[in-house]
Amino acid sequence: MKDFTFDVDRMIDTLTPNTKLIFIANPNNPTGTMIAHSEAERLLNAMPEKCLLVMDEAYYEYVERTTIPGP
């Protein structure tokens, strides 16, 4: 994490052909930070073909913003 949010650049840098699963709590508990849609897409596009991305959105109903800022 970087500044209490997921560091997508670092996550991408650490991917290998053997990466099988990426798990992201979105929004994160306890920080409440969220990964922007554009960042999730960037991560998906960089993942190995047989890697699974799990987005745990158990606390989405507590989000008050309608848009999440992205890069």
Reference 59, options 13, 20, 37, 26; nearest CA is 26
**Per-residue confidence (pLDDT) for residue 15, from 0 to 100:** 97
Distance CA 38, CA 42 (A): 6
Give tens-digit pLDDT for 1-44: 777 778 999 999 999 999 999 999 888 877 778 888 899 999 99
Domain boundaries, the chain: 8-60
Does 71 score more than 70 pLDDT? no
Q: Strand, helix or coil at 71?
A: coil
